[in-house]
Amino acid sequence: MMKLGVVMDPIGSINIKKDSTFAMLLEAQQREYELYYIEQPAMYLDGQQARAKVHALKVDDNPTKWFELAIAKDIALAELDVILMRKDPPFNMDYIYSTYLLEAAEQEGVLVVNKPRSLRDCNEKLFALQFPNCIPPTRVTSSAAQLKNFIEEHEDTILKPLDGMGGESIFRVKKDDVNLNVIIETLTNKGKRLIMAQDFIPEIIKGDKRILLIDGEPIPYALARIPSKGETRGNLAAGGHAEGLELSGHDLWICQQVGPRLREMGLLFVGLDVIGDYLTEINVTSPTCIRELDTLYDLNISATLMDAIEKLKQ
């Protein structure tokens, strides 16, 4: 019997209608896996051995009582077959330290999804720059002068931090914006912090598409997160609404460019963000939208993921 642990945010606070981790757990339980719930602070190293206080977990697709936890017990993570690292950002030092602990478990034979080293290496904003044919004009800098030069050249731009999620602290800035200086000062912490500038993509009005890939292969449908009136951010957390759509030929081309690299790096479950014809981000920490796409298209994306996990464990 497969023993699967999951590192995630507090399970009592999730919205099960939209939570992709919960969808994964439901599928794993359906396959009679043993499930173990792990909160990030519960992991530790005893010498070289990764250990954690874990709770045996049962889940139920019931909006009033969706989980049941057994009394915590202390185990070596090597007792598990698979660990899903599904802790949401912020991608801070605690997150990085957790990847080192998970890497220690990986060295003892545990399959960690996604691969801890790649979680550290692949910043969700910067990783996309490794596919220059797929991205819009982009500059990463902490220099106000360099940012102003980019904005002057492209006239209509997006500025964003490198460690945000859910549309947090994303600004649309035009070259004549009266707030330009204060926006740059705030985002860069007066020149001390790198940020990203990208050419504004007008197709955002049609949605910021989330494309899910499993072992480098795309799910054939995307969830387009469409901005609310007066917004330039499509993120659902920023008030956008979602519509499903079939992947276009160009979407599939982007997946073909990115997919082999993801497979090579052990990034088994990934979400691409695509606006118009441009790749804007590669989400590797805890991609979402499984439940929405499952509902819209009668899919079982988690089953595809578990099939890929089982293949890797053979």
Return the active site residues: 125, 160, 210, 225, 233, 273, 281, 283
Q: In DSSP terms, which residues pair with 44 in a beta bridge?
A: 51
- How many Cα atoms within 13 Å fall on the side-chain side of residue 155? 2
Paired sense of beta strands 82-85 and 3-7, if any: parallel
Single-letter amino acid code for the residue at 64: T
d(CA 123, CA 146): 22
Tell me which amino acid residue 95 is: Y
54: phi then psi, degrees, rounded to nearest 5 = -120, 160
Q: What are phi and psi of 70, to 5 degrees?
A: -80, 170
State the burial class of residue 190 (Cβ atoms within 10 Å of its Cβ: 0-12, 13-18, 19+): exposed
Q: Residue 140 CA to chain centroid, in angstroms?
A: 20
